[in-house]
Amino acid sequence: MDLASNLGGKIDKSDVLTAVEKYEQYHVFHGGNEEERKANYTDMVNKYYDLATSFYEYGWGESFHFAHRWNGESLRESIKRHEHFLALQLGIKPGHKVLDVGCGIGGPLREIARFSNSSVTGINNNEYQITRGKELNRLAGVDKTCNFVKADFMKMPFPENSFDAVYAIEATCHAPDAYGCYKEIYRVLKPGQCFAAYEWCMTDAFDPDNAEHQKIKGEIEIGDGLPDIRLTTKCLEALKQAGFDVIWEKDLAKDSPVPWYLPLDKNHFSLSSFRLTAVGRFITKNMVKVLEYMRLAPQGSQRVSNFLEQAAEGLVDGGRREIFTPMYFFLARKPE
């Protein structure tokens, strides 16, 4: 019932179906194109997260991301370790002022703040996610040290040299322009300090002339609110162009003992992450169908469930073929 009542975020329940139709029209499967998505990225991404956030929280919990995973490690454990690794790479210390770019509802923000005893600000342009995040901060007891700012991370409302560390977890992939995004992060980061991120990217194995590869890319874009998915090399170029010194970078998916896409794989079953499995998603899809029929969930809910399922299939196929990664990691420093 929480899933049904929160579906659509800040969109009026009577307008959810219209929002779904408009969102779908941005994407290639419905006649859209990359230029239109980039030009209207704010509207597209906001619609996506208004429509999808309740599904994300229902399935993933508070941290909406994948993780490098060891054998014997649960999904939840790997997600926390993935966040801790980022904090350690950045050298976050007690009292540091940290920025989370594209923070979602703040799961990583709260985990990193507690792990490092630092103050973390999350920037997010989606009103529903910020409202939800503030409530979760209050419940976690970090509302005095952590906060949210509603703004576009392409035009951040912070003075130059404001933060001791900046990170982004599977978020700056929503930016229409990697260079513009990284340049803005460079501006607000203090000299001598670091920016680290996990980026969603197409790998060198991606062939733009391969129709199946393009289909997989399109499924991920529509299912995850992306204007385009950049190559890892393009992210690296944009970082250097923005002025950063790259300390190290690596696709962490390459040496993950447990495939990052396993929770979504139809051949995998897990009780600990049951809602993400094929059986769990099938039950959720039919539950949403019933709730929509009974008018307990807004019209259009089932279509949201459908494009999220399309994303899951694209992610698994992209992972298996090693043409896509959700964890291209880099650590970069702003020169003194």
Predicted confidence pLDDT, tens digits, the chain (336 residues): 565 556 566 777 777 788 778 877 888 666 777 888 888 778 888 888 888 888 888 888 899 999 999 999 999 999 999 999 999 999 999 999 999 999 999 999 999 999 999 999 999 999 999 999 999 999 999 999 999 999 999 999 999 999 999 999 999 999 999 999 999 999 999 999 999 999 999 999 999 999 999 999 999 998 888 989 999 999 999 999 999 999 999 999 999 999 999 998 888 777 666 767 777 778 777 777 887 777 777 788 888 888 888 889 999 999 999 999 999 999 999 999
- Please give the backbone phi and psi of residue 257, each rounded to the nearest 5 degrees, phi first: -55, -35
The DSSP secondary structure of 294-325, one letter per residue, reads TTSS-TTHHHHHHHHHHHHHHHHHHHHTTSEE
The structure tokens listed for 65 are 């991301």
pLDDT of residue 3: 57
The dihedral sign for the CA sequence 146, 152, 157, 161? positive
Tell me whether strands 189-202 and 163-169 are parallel, antiparallel or unpaired.
parallel
pLDDT of residue 8: 61
C-alpha distances (whole Å) from 151 to each of 142, 156, 194, 286, 306 are 21, 6, 22, 36, 29
Residues 308 and 52: beta-carbon distance below 8 Å: yes
The distance from CA 279 to its chain's CA centroid, rounded to whole angstroms, is 24
Alpha helices in 226-300 (DSSP H): 232-242, 278-293
The DSSP secondary structure of 197-221, one letter per residue, reads EEEEEE-TT--TT-HHHHHHHHHHH
Cα(106)–Cα(122) distance, integer angstroms: 7
Q: What is the pLDDT of residues 82-135, one digit of tens each?
A: 999 999 999 999 999 999 999 999 999 999 999 999 999 999 999 999 999 999
Cα(154)–Cα(224) distance, integer angstroms: 19
pLDDT of residue 6: 63
Whole-structure pTM value: 0.90
Q: Helix, strand or coil for residue 162?
A: coil
- DSSP H or E segment with residue 195: strand 189-202
29-37: long-range contacts (C-beta < 8 A, 24 or more apart)?
29/218, 29/219, 29/222, 30/222, 34/227, 34/228, 37/176, 37/221, 37/226, 37/227, 37/228
